[in-house]
Amino acid sequence: MALNEIKTRFAPSPSGQLSLGNGKTAVFSYCYAKKNNAPFILRVEDTNAEKSTTESLINIMEGLTWLGVKWDQGPTIEEVKQGVFSRQHFQSQRSPIYEYFIKKLIEEDKAYLNHDGCVMFRMPQKPWILDDLILGHIEFPDNQEDFIIARADGSAIFHLANVVDDALSGCNPLSKGCDHLNSYPKHAALFEAIGFPVPEYAHMTLVLDEAGQKLSKRRSDQYANISDFKRDGLLPEAVINLIGTLSWKHPEGREGFDLVEMCKHFDLKQCTRSNPRYSKSKLLAINSKRMQGFSKDELSKRAIEYGQQFYPNILQGLIQQDLFDRHISCCVGGSRNLKEVFEGSEYLYDKNVQINPNDIDLWFKTKDDFAILDIVKVVLEDLIWTRENIMVAIRGFCKDNNLKMDKVCQMIRLATTFKLISPPIDVVLFTLDKLESLTRINSFIEKLDRYSYSKAKVGIYA
């Protein structure tokens, strides 16, 4: 029996989050299938009951969906949430199938029981040669050892279950990480032993960090899980763009492309054999560039979708106070990610934030400092309220009074946002609108008067 048709699959073990490396394998397999008008399958390798969790599987499936990867066959997220695990797609439900092949191998003297009761596969002693679609021609030693294919309780382990499922589903080629390369002789031998042709293989190179080390789940600074990208407001197009540059290059040399474009041109045989290095700064730069090209309507749409999931209270506050539209207008062309649209924006609608006295002491140290905001308020009162006019007025005030721009902006920022970190001051004041900005500055001045009086009583400003 020959394998003439292309059918690719992604077969994760649901024991953790969808990593950048596994995301790359899934995207590359998906693109190769779509380039060739072939099906792409999602299969769940959950034979390790101790490590497999529903939460991990949902994380993986939602990560793939966010990236735009749609499987033609496989479980749905709703089915998994409802506890529906079909025999067709979950290895944990396919024990009778594996038992059939284990028994068949034993009967044909291709497998045997060892002293512990485990089933061992009798490895043929012959050369094993792989012509990998990515890594090229590879020869393995002919003295491969026998290996376990079933535990003492009869349950199949990874090697047998993986091969049986790939054989019965007719998947070809098989994409795997190159850390599984040494398993090729075992799997090729199993394909032959159960009477199926050996598929083509494409072993994906490993994604390394910028120092050339393997990405680690334990290092939060490496920022390499798909759910992390999503949570921190990155765009799926930016992540796809980054993945597309890991071991593959657009044939036209284009740096900016989406998943649809990648599917049109992708070929496993064009992937490089060297391990790519993941750069967090490069990903952030790609994302920022895409964000800066958004129209107001597009940014508004993306921000609502993101805010509903990660910042529902801030989104609701902005909408209820009729501030969302103006806030988005100020974010167009300036926000580097969707998180920046929401993070720290509570000041726009929440006036009950307590100001840190240390922040006041930092910028209001003399009687002259306390008088600055009184004059700023007068300057702003006569403005036609635009971002440009606001900045021109503040710059002119600083120049006329020989004051540093940073100092005055921080004073205004503390008065209007109640903190020292915020978007640019023209964005803050314009979004609040003129009346609200002046009201907050006036209220802050009154607080300063009471604050300076209390300080004076203990001799600090005497």
pLDDT tens, position by position, 354-395: 889 899 999 998 888 889 999 999 999 999 999 999 999 999
Q: Is residue 351 part of a domain?
A: no
Q: Is residue 209 part of a domain?
A: no
pLDDT tens, position by position, 160-174: 999 999 999 999 999
- Do 21 and 143 lie in one domain? The reply is yes
pLDDT mean over 46-55:
90
Q: Is residue 343 part of a domain?
A: no
- Do 31 and 152 lie in one domain? The reply is yes
Q: Is residue 168 part of a domain?
A: yes
- Do 362 and 408 lie in one domain? The reply is yes
pLDDT tens, position by position, 173-202: 999 999 999 999 999 999 999 999 999 999
Contacts 24+ apart (CB under 8 A), 270-275: 271/28, 271/133, 271/134, 271/202, 271/204, 271/205, 271/247, 272/205, 272/247, 272/248, 273/134, 273/135, 273/136, 273/205, 274/205, 274/247, 275/205, 275/206, 275/207, 275/208
What is the domain-level CATH number for residue 265? 1.10.1160.10
pLDDT band at 218 (very low <50, low <70, confident <90, very high): low
- Do 438 and 387 lie in one domain? The reply is yes
The structure's pTM equals 0.88
pLDDT band at 458 (very low <50, low <70, confident <90, very high): very low
Q: What is the mean pLDDT of the chain?
A: 92
- Do 332 and 421 lie in one domain? The reply is no
Q: Is residue 346 part of a domain?
A: no
- Do 280 and 299 lie in one domain? The reply is no
Distance in angstroms (rounded) separating the CA atoms of residues 158 and 144: 18
pLDDT band at 460 (very low <50, low <70, confident <90, very high): very low
pLDDT band at 219 (very low <50, low <70, confident <90, very high): low
- Quote the pLDDT of residue 85: 94
- Do 239 and 376 lie in one domain? The reply is no
Domain that residue 370 falls in: 357-457
What is the domain-level CATH number for residue 22? 3.40.50.620
- Among 204, 235, 251, give the residue marking a domain's end: 204
- Do 284 and 301 lie in one domain? The reply is no
- Do 309 and 276 lie in one domain? The reply is no
- Quote the pLDDT of residue 311: 96
- Quote the pLDDT of residue 256: 86
pLDDT tens, position by position, 388-447: 999 999 999 999 999 999 999 999 999 999 999 888 999 999 999 999 999 999 999 998
- Do 224 and 174 lie in one domain? The reply is no
Number of domains comprising the chain: 4
- Do 41 and 107 lie in one domain? The reply is yes
- Do 449 and 418 lie in one domain? The reply is yes
